A and B are shown apart, each in its own frame.
Chain A
Amino acid sequence: MCRPTYYTIAYEINPWMSLKRQADHARALVQWNQLYRLLTRQLRVRVQILPPHPGVPDLVFTANAGLVSGRTVIRSNFRHPERQQEEPIIERYFKRAGFRVVRLSSRYDFEGEGDALWLGETLLFGFRFRSDEPAHEELARILKARVLPVELADRRFYHLDTCFCPLGASSALWFPSAFDRYGRKVIENLVADPISVSEADAKRFACNAIAVPASATSMGGTGGRAVVMQAGSSTRLRRQLARRGFRLYPVDLSEFLKAGGSAKCLVLRLS
């Protein structure tokens, strides 16, 4: 994770960002600390901190830094010049942390875990708004895995992690209208038990949730799998998750929603 010391709305690169609707810096800091505490204290997740950097406000959204596999990180090629400035900072951090840094061909954009999510052995790869379809082939070669590209169809859900959230190997949260009919079919074939969310929940970034597997937490007696999600989700969604044995941890991240991100965007899975 990366502390939002320099977080602000400095530019508009997605439909959620508006220079006229500034983030409240103090509140953002409080909200981020809440998430951090929830993950580290309640859920006992080990979190590494990427030092914040002035001039790159979106560095706080570490999910877009790259894709980690073992001790290798596939560094992102950001689409927008505003975020391309994050690339050297990310690269330096991972190298110092002892990771092998792999860069994709600079011809194609790739925004890390924002557009690439594992579902069991398969990597689902969202393309169009931030990542380029041909990058999937390179990912497949590096990861030696099946990588399925799906086209995103709704500009508001510009990253795969804004409309799709794997919950273990057989279930996932998703907002079907964010995909075209081919993508919907691919996900329906891939996910045994998809949970579709309503548009209201999707706009609240319900799909931008962090699923913490039971093994990663050391909570006793809670039954295991935890889902950290923006607060305010519908009763229907909460009930659907509860029925499947997920424990919901709502957290208010409204200040980050102003930049088009929520819980998942603020973390990058390292192992």
Chain B
Amino acid sequence: MPSEIVQVSGHIIDSLILPKVLDEIMDLNGTFEILDIAIGKRKTDTSNARLRIEAASQTHLDQILKRLARLGAAPLCAKDVRLVRATKEGVFPPAFYSTTNLPTEIRFRGRWRRVRGIEMDCGIAVNPSTGAAACTPVASIRKGDWVVCGSEGVKVTPLERARTAEVFQFMGSAVSSEKPKAQLIQRLAGEMRAIRRAGKKILVVAGPAVVHTGSGPYLERLIKGGFVQVLFAGNGLATHDIESALYGTSLGVRLDRGVAAKDGHDHHMRAINTIRHLGGIRHAVRRGVLKRGIMHACVTRRVPFVLAGSIRDDGPLPDVITDTLRAQEAMRRHVEGLGMALMIASTLHAIATGNILPATVKAVCVDINPSVVTKLSDRGTFQGIGVVSDTESFLRELCLALHL
């Protein structure tokens, strides 16, 4: 709902200006929240109050603001954003506004406009002819783009605290390994069902430990059960998943017996070579070479995946995007419509994903190492909950809770 923060100040208590302002808002079917109020202690002291006013539509809000302006209640931010032209490819003007991952609006030509594709640590590029504002990473800025500078005319809306107890509030506290997992996973499952019912997407970011710990089949079940709409991973997860599908091992360790296979150390290289020979994961599935596993489930269930490469990759698989900027772009294309991001046993990809997620997407970070979970929240992905748990037991419990 469109909202605006206004300030009323002066002798607003004795003159009944404040009650009048509040009555006017209600008479015009708006709602308000008193953000803060300071009342003068002596008769000659002035008072002031800040109110957030909400209305069903922008025209409706404008109508309320127009009426309130007469009563001296002025919008706190009545100025437009300052736009400066980028003078170089991939470089913001020096005073650029650096974004947060919270819903953001800018005031341009007297109107508030929502910034599309909000994510943290980017700039805001504005098309002056249409007024459309888009969150843009520094590398994507083109020479001559108009970029928002300074924080004037920029409005960031903090996330509303949930009124009812829910899982993301329930586990909202600091990361701890000493929390009851079974109950948490039950509520998480409920949340996932709700997100799917609402028609939103669930993203899974997974590290190779998912395969190493033998929890690949559970993730496969999640994909087949329709609880994964996008998968982000690296070369590692895909390689070991394919290795396990082709040879039954992960990094040479037999997943069924937990012992090292003879000459198992080269299985993953053979797996990579096979896929490279076939021209990609999709081709391998189509040719019947790849018959099971996470990647197989993604291809057959038409779940898009983005494999982003890194410097220590073997191979890599032909599907891996080795240009990091291109990989970021590919990931960004899937952010729209996300309701939840489930990040399992991955440090690098989880943080990369956390960076591009708006705060409105609920993030769940599962890792056996508490520092990874903490790291993600410290980097500003504060909308998330952390679960310190072994990947295999987490996914097993989750599948159970989802009746998969």
Which positions in A face B, CB cutoff 8 Å?
Answer: 121, 127-128, 132-134, 136-137, 140-141, 144-151, 180, 182-183, 185-186, 189
Q: Is the interface of B mostly helix, strand, loop or mixed?
A: loop
Chain A residue nearest to B17 (CB atoms) is A149
B14 sits at the interface (CB 8 A): yes
Chain A residue nearest to B23 (CB atoms) is A182
Q: Is the interface of A mostly helix, strand, loop or mixed?
A: mixed
- In addition to A148-B11, A186-B14, 8 A-B residue pairs with Cβ atoms within 8 Å of each other are A121-B43, A137-B9, A140-B11, A140-B44, A148-B14, A149-B72, A180-B20, A182-B17
- Say how far A107's CB is from chain B's closest CB, in angstroms: 10
Q: Which of B1-50 contact A (CB under 8 A)?
A: 9-11, 14-17, 19-20, 43-44, 46
- Say how far A186's CB is from chain B's closest CB, in angstroms: 6
Contact of B15 among A128, A132, A148 (CB under 8 A): A148
* Bound complex: CA A182 to CA B23 (Å): 11
Please name all residues of chain A whose beta carbon is closer than 8 Å to the beta carbon of B71 when the two chains form the complex.
133, 151
Chain B residue nearest to A125 (CB atoms) is B15
Asked whether, in the complex, the Cβ of B10 is within 8 Å of the Cβ of A132, the reply is no
B195 sits at the interface (CB 8 A): no
* Bound complex: CA A136 to CA B9 (Å): 9
* Bound complex: CA A23 to CA B64 (Å): 42
Residue picked from B11, B20, B71, most chain A C-beta under 10 Å? B11
Please name all residues of chain A whose beta carbon is closer than 8 Å to the beta carbon of B44 when the two chains form the complex.
140, 144-146
14 contacts between A and B (CB under 8 A): A132-B72, A133-B10, A134-B72, A136-B72, A137-B11, A140-B44, A146-B14, A146-B44, A147-B11, A148-B11, A149-B15, A150-B15, A182-B16, A182-B19
Residue picked from A121, A147, A149, most chain B C-beta under 10 Å? A149
Asked whether, in the complex, the Cβ of B46 is within 8 Å of the Cβ of A134, the reply is no
Chain B interface: which size bin? 10 to 19
Contact of A133 among B14, B16, B43, B72 (CB under 8 A): B72
Please name all residues of chain A whose beta carbon is closer than 8 Å to the beta carbon of B17 when the two chains form the complex.
133, 149, 182
- Return the 6 tightest CB-CB contacts between A and B, nearest first: A133-B72, A137-B10, A148-B15, A182-B16, A134-B72, A182-B20
Asked whether, in the complex, the Cβ of B10 is within 8 Å of the Cβ of A146, the reply is no
Asked whether, in the complex, the Cβ of A147 is within 8 Å of the Cβ of B10, the reply is yes
- Say how far A6's CB is from chain B's closest CB, in angstroms: 34
Please name all residues of chain A whose beta carbon is closer than 8 Å to the beta carbon of B10 when the two chains form the complex.
133-134, 136-137, 140, 147, 149
Please name all residues of chain B whose beta carbon is closer than 8 Å to the beta carbon of A145 when the two chains form the complex.
44
Please name all residues of chain A whose beta carbon is closer than 8 Å to the beta carbon of B43 when the two chains form the complex.
121, 146
- Say how far B96's CB is from chain A's closest CB, in angstroms: 30
* Bound complex: CA A104 to CA B43 (Å): 22
* Bound complex: CA A10 to CA B20 (Å): 37
